């Protein structure tokens, strides 16, 4: 049995896909939300229009720990530490823990698996990441993701267990690279959305995406990743998807910034905090990340889009 902790859109979509291969428990923090899903067999709050198969059990509060193959944590990165602290007993008895979030913790600069290991020392951790939208997964559309785990045997077992007819997983042992690819691309998606929202055009977006990808690789390698990982699904693949689609929350947030409009209330934008976290690290490490820094200044209200673009275009000319 698989446990999915977190009944947001992505957690629900994973549960729907995994239900094709066996029983799944979808855990919800809000008891009233859980009752709604049991009654309607739909997560109308987060993923409307998608029926929840009978193989999915909706749970809240304590859960039995028997026969759990893996526990997937579909919780935003900035809330992950508090979630793990509140549910230590529950998480300590549910098989390998698979983080399903993308970001860097602002207060510590740590990646999701590092946050989990801080709270639960000795836990077996993995990361599930890559180019994916909840609606596509839930509708059964073909999706490919990276499953990164340092232990090869554990990674292979998780890959076999979590693969479904529409969800194909590729295995990696570079947890750092997989996590940083997923985190940093959210920052770039904000910048690309801002460029489009401000009417700067698709050529500007392509240039921004390309130069930011070079920064992603430079930053990730300095932080311990393998360069090749950033060219895979969890890096380049996810970057292309989220920098070109209105389904991306980070991209839509950027569009709102570019237009000078308020963004959708209550929607998590992981790239905003990650922009600050990566720029803080870059400053300490002496890394030159001009695109990431411009996006950070834009997100924090220190620059307007036109000022950010002027700052980037006025940099000294150089070889590619």
Catalytic residues: 185
Q: How far apart are CA 200 and CA 192, in angstroms?
A: 10
Whole-angstrom CA distances from 50 to 30, 188, 244 are: 20, 30, 25
- pLDDT tens digits, the chain, 320 residues: what are they? 999 999 999 999 999 999 999 999 999 999 999 999 999 999 999 999 999 999 999 999 877 666 889 999 999 999 999 999 999 988 987 789 999 999 999 999 999 999 999 999 999 999 999 999 999 999 999 999 999 999 999 999 999 999 999 999 999 999 999 999 999 999 999 999 999 999 999 999 999 999 999 999 999 999 999 999 999 999 999 999 999 999 999 999 999 999 999 999 989 999 999 999 999 999 999 999 999 999 999 999 999 998 998 888 888 877 77
- Lookup: tokens for 200: 């700067």
Whole-angstrom CA distances from 290 to 51, 283, 297 are: 45, 11, 10
User: Which residues are bridge partners to 71 per DSSP?
Assistant: 3, 97
Our CA angle for 252, 253, 255, nearest 5°, is 60
Q: How far apart are CA 177 and CA 288, in angstroms?
A: 19
State the pTM of this model.
0.95
Helix axes 112-119, 77-86, angle to 10 degrees: 20
Say which residues have a Cβ less than 8 Å from residue 62's Cβ, sequence separation at least 6: 90
């Amino acid at each position: 049995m698989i446990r999915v902790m977190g009944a947001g859109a992505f957690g629900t979509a994973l549960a729907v896909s995994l239900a094709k291969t066996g029983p799944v428990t979808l855990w919800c923090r809000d008891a009233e939300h859980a009752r709604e899903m049991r009654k309607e067999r739909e997560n109308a709050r987060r993923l409307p229009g998608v029926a929840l198969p009978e193989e999915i059990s909706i749970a809240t509060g304590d859960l039995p720990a028997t026969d759990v193959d893996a526990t997937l944590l579909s919780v935003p990165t900035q809330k992950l530490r508090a979630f793990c602290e509140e549910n230590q007993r529950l998480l300590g008895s549910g098989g390998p823990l698979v983080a399903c979030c993308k970001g860097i913790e602002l207060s510590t600069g740590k990646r999701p698996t590092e946050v989990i290991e801080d709270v639960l020392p000795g836990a077996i951790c993995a990361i599930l990441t890559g180019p994916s939208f909840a609606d596509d997964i839930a509708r059964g559309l073909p999706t490919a993701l990276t499953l990164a785990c340092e232990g090869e045997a554990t990674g292979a077992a998780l890959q076999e267990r979590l693969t479904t007819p529409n969800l194909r997983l590729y295995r990696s042992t570079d947890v750092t690279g997989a996590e940083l690819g997923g985190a940093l691309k959210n920052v770039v998606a904000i910048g690309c959305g801002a460029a489009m929202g401000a009417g700067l055009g698709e050529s500007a977006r392509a240039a921004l995406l390309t130069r930011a990808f070079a920064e992603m690789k430079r930053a990730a390698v300095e932080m311990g990743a393998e360069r090749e990982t950033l060219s895979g699904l969890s890096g380049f693949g996810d970057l292309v998807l989220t920098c070109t689609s209105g389904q991306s929350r980070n991209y839509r947030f950027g569009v709102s910034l570019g237009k000078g409009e308020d963004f959708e209330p209550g929607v998590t934008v992981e790239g905003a905090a990650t922009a600050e976290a990566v720029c803080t690290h870059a400053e300490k490490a002496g890394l030159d990340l001009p695109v990431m820094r411009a996006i950070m200044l834009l997100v924090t209200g220190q620059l307007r889009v036109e000022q950010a673009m002027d700052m980037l275009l006025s940099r000294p000319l150089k070889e590619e």
